[in-house]
A and B are shown apart, each in its own frame.
Chain A
Amino acid sequence: MRKKMLAMLLAGGQGSRLYALTKDLAKPAVPFGGKYRIIDFPLSNCVNSGVDTVGILTQYEPFELSQYIGNGQPWDLDRMGGGAFVLPPYQRNTGRDWYKGTANAIYQNLRFIERYDPEYVVILSGDHIYKMDYAAMLEKHIEKGAAVTVAALKVPLSEASRFGVIIADDEGYITEFEEKPANPRSDLASMGIYIFSADKLSKYLTEDEADPESENDFGKNVLPNMLEAGEKMAVYAFEGYWKDVGTVDSLWEAHMDLLDGSDLNLYDNNWKIYSRSPVMPPHIVEAGAEIKGSMVTEGCDVGGKVERSVLFAGVTVEAGAEVKESIVMPGATIKAGAKVYKTIIGEKAVIGENAKIGADGGKVTLVGPEAVVADEATVEPGAIFGKEAVK
């Protein structure tokens, strides 16, 4: 049976502004929200939108991500005639290439798309935290008779210059694109989510590939080319929580949003966010522990004080330790007497006894995965501390 819509998820991003967190890990695999990884959001959106076939394009540090996706079962993506597929660059008889840009990555996998012969293809990225019904967007796409529909979010005009800005007419058709304009003329920021009619996608990607001058990027090349060719291009205005967690600060903020009860509702049973769950017992709160305004995940052992923080699975906070406004990723240990303020602690990092990390109310501090902070050591607020001291 012909597929209505297939999803292609760009998950090759290095996420270099997350420093030590993405040193050995693709950005979409970065842990988020106690139980999740960033990629769980677009994947769960797919399943909840009725999209049952997802190609996941990986390139940068793919192992952990591939292992995490596995056969797609946690997202109900282990399907006959579909499911989740990890698509790294591969060798063809015409040659082999790394993915050169977002458009080239999809171009290199056109044959994967053709195997499913979908009517529509939704292009997603694995960099954002949001909940979105792609089926509703598709409805709009069909209604508008568009070749491509671009999802956009209203942002304050003052911030629009950080984004690709869309200028649209009253009927919702795109008339102009501006890539990170100094003086934006619109407050509609592109979210990097596109629904293409499949034949148009194939046509414009093939043309883009033939152009040696192209950077093979959707935002910079493919979409402007389509506009120039006079294609009908619609804008889909999205309302709701959407957060780029590509920097240490924004990743920290997104977690504080979660604790403060933001628009991101993780408790909606009709729109669950799925994840691969570690096999761990419920968390334990020891006598003398103190936990307030925080999220704590299975496998944790809390003996100390935890305030306005998110503890991922299997985190240990020993008695006498204090964790405040911090994010502690899976398997990390905060030893007795250590003080951790406004810090992101990477997976399996160990904070030694009486160490002092960051400062209350200071800049966000980052201690990378598997880092070992010595007993009694001090890490200054705002420092980026990796396993081998990144930066």
Chain B
Amino acid sequence: MRDVLGIIVCNMHDDLVPQLTSNRTLGSIPFGGRYRMIDFALSNMTNSGIYDVGLVPSKNYQSLMNHVGNGQEWDMSRKNGGLSILPPYAGERGVYRGRMEALYGIREYIKASDAKNVVLSDSDVVANIDLRPVIKQHEESGADITLVYKRSEVFREKKQCAALFFDECGKLLDLYLNPELEGTQNIYLDIAIIKKPLLDELIAECASKDEHSFVHSVLMQKKDVLNIRGYLFDGYCNKLTGLRNYLDSSLALLNPEVRKSLFPAERPIYTRVRDKVSAKYGENAKVSEALVTDGCYIDGEIERSVLFRGATIEKGAKVKGCVLMHNTFVGEGCELEFVITDKNVVIPAGTHLAGSEKYPLYIPKDTVL
């Protein structure tokens, strides 16, 4: 779809998982054994025929650039358009305060596009969303802005959670941020389709008033002037809200229904390919309910865990309820429960570590215990 431009803002919500974003953007947080958070947003674009995509990082974006490269893995290495990484440059404020400010920084890129609509997305949502029906509904309904939402309870963390209310015609009536509400609500997924000329105007207007938030300055302030509508996404979906949610949503991948919704054969989630050998299981391996990536070596016991590329679990080690990122080494006889290890963590033989399901223990990148 050449008439749709995709824009992904990569650093929104970094503060939700400060542990995982201390040296990377939220978009480059490893997830699900071989992916990074941004793979979902990018693949949703590719699978919906959107190949013109701008990525807007603000800081710590080295790992992100390294991951996406020229976009070739997402079929976005195109002669015309394709993937553009749009970091802040001299003269602009480096770290944006909100989405509208981030967009102001790339206003020339947006202006230069002859797309009719823009898909705005963050990289904090794990979902496989076909955007084509969203765009179709957006165009047919004549909406200025269409917001993608899911039905769920207000997030436990009460952070950056917007509940949407629509009138009987489906127009946005109101929006509450982090409300104290019981029961299922319409929770905004920070994915919006917006008419491009309108976006150009809104960017200029917000900048002139020194306003920077899409939710406050556009959705809340203009809900009565603009035709803002919603699109209900009813597949599996998780919006990252914190470390506990990171563990929960990682382990949710062990549920076949979740995998079916996230990884349908016709809409694959693409990611950067590293050439690793198939996972190898030793003679002492005992594994039940695990997601295991190529390059792993397992000779220990694993229960309800996610193992990233190159993780090694030695003989006699017991791993339960854990997420072990790339090249984590777990020595002989270790016992780990509800632990999240970042990349390249070394846990020597005989170490016992335990977090709790509600409060997982996080071990930072490159830690050698």
Complex alpha-carbon distance, A266 and B263, angstroms:
28
Q: Which of these, B271, B286, B292, B306, contacts A296 with CB under 8 Å?
A: B292
Contacts of B285 in A (CB 8 A): 291-292
Min CB distance A274 to B, Å, is: 5
A292-B283, A297-B279, A298-B294 are contacts. A279–B269 as well, Cβ < 8 Å? yes
Contacts of B245 in A (CB 8 A): none
Interface mask (B301-343 → A, CB under 8 Å = 1, otherwise 0):
0100011000000000000000000000000000000000000
The reply to whether A282 and B33 form a contact with Cβ atoms under 8 Å apart is yes
Say yes or no: is A295 at the interface (Cβ < 8 Å to chain B): yes
The reply to whether B292 and A285 form a contact with Cβ atoms under 8 Å apart is yes
Say yes or no: is B99 at the interface (Cβ < 8 Å to chain A): no
Complex alpha-carbon distance, A130 and B34, angstroms:
28
The reply to whether B278 and A34 form a contact with Cβ atoms under 8 Å apart is yes
The reply to whether B269 and A281 form a contact with Cβ atoms under 8 Å apart is yes
The reply to whether A34 and B288 form a contact with Cβ atoms under 8 Å apart is no
A285-B290, A285-B292, A287-B288 are contacts. A293–B282 as well, Cβ < 8 Å? yes
Complex alpha-carbon distance, A284 and B32, angstroms:
11
CB interface residues, B 233-276, toward A, < 8 Å: 253-254, 259, 262-263, 268-271, 273, 275-276
The reply to whether A310 and B281 form a contact with Cβ atoms under 8 Å apart is no
Min CB distance A8 to B, Å, is: 24
Complex alpha-carbon distance, A292 and B271, angstroms:
29
CB interface residues, A 276-319, toward B, < 8 Å: 277, 279-298, 306, 310-312
Contacts of A35 in B (CB 8 A): 276-278, 294
Say yes or no: is B200 at the interface (Cβ < 8 Å to chain A): no
Interface mask (A11-50 → B, CB under 8 Å = 1, otherwise 0):
0000000000000000000000111000000000000000
The reply to whether B288 and A282 form a contact with Cβ atoms under 8 Å apart is no
Contacts of A290 in B (CB 8 A): 286
| Size of interface on A: residues with Cβ below 8 Å to B | 36
Contacts of A288 in B (CB 8 A): 288
The reply to whether B72 and A73 form a contact with Cβ atoms under 8 Å apart is yes
The interface size bin for chain B is 35 or more
Closest B-chain residue to A35, C-beta based? B278
Say yes or no: is A248 at the interface (Cβ < 8 Å to chain B): no
Complex alpha-carbon distance, A376 and B313, angstroms:
38
The reply to whether A292 and B275 form a contact with Cβ atoms under 8 Å apart is no
Complex alpha-carbon distance, A295 and B284, angstroms:
14
The reply to whether B281 and A292 form a contact with Cβ atoms under 8 Å apart is yes
Min CB distance A131 to B, Å, is: 13
Closest A-chain residue to B279, C-beta based? A296
Say yes or no: is B291 at the interface (Cβ < 8 Å to chain A): yes
Closest B-chain residue to A310, C-beta based? B278
Min CB distance A383 to B, Å, is: 27
Complex alpha-carbon distance, A266 and B280, angstroms:
12
The reply to whether A296 and B281 form a contact with Cβ atoms under 8 Å apart is yes
Say yes or no: is B293 at the interface (Cβ < 8 Å to chain A): yes
Q: Count chain A CB atoms within 10 A of each CB in B269, B277, B307 and give the residue with the most.
A: B277
Closest B-chain residue to A34, C-beta based? B278
Closest B-chain residue to A288, C-beta based? B288
Contacts of A289 in B (CB 8 A): 287-288
Say yes or no: is B211 at the interface (Cβ < 8 Å to chain A): no
Min CB distance B185 to A, Å, is: 30
Contacts of A310 in B (CB 8 A): 278
Min CB distance A307 to B, Å, is: 9
Complex alpha-carbon distance, A273 and B295, angstroms:
13
Complex alpha-carbon distance, A279 and B273, angstroms:
9
A285-B289, A297-B294 are contacts. A280–B268 as well, Cβ < 8 Å? yes
Complex alpha-carbon distance, A274 and B277, angstroms:
10
Q: Which of these, A267, A279, A283, A285, contacts B277 with CB under 8 Å?
A: A267
Closest A-chain residue to B286, C-beta based? A290
The reply to whether A281 and B259 form a contact with Cβ atoms under 8 Å apart is yes
Q: Count chain B CB atoms within 10 A of each CB in A73, A296, A297, A310 and give the residue with the most.
A: A296
Q: Give 5 A-B contacts (CB < 8 Å), ordered by A residue.
A: A33-B277, A281-B259, A292-B282, A296-B281, A298-B293
Contacts beyond the supplied A34-B278, A287-B288: 11 A-B pairs with Cβ under 8 Å: A273-B275, A281-B262, A281-B263, A283-B292, A284-B254, A284-B290, A285-B290, A285-B291, A289-B288, A293-B282, A295-B278
Using a CB–CB cutoff of 8 Å, the interface residues on chain B facing chain A are: 32-34, 72, 253-254, 259, 262-263, 268-271, 273, 275-294, 302, 306-307
Nearest 9 pairs of A and B residues by beta carbon = A34-B278, A282-B33, A282-B293, A279-B268, A297-B278, A295-B278, A277-B273, A266-B277, A291-B281
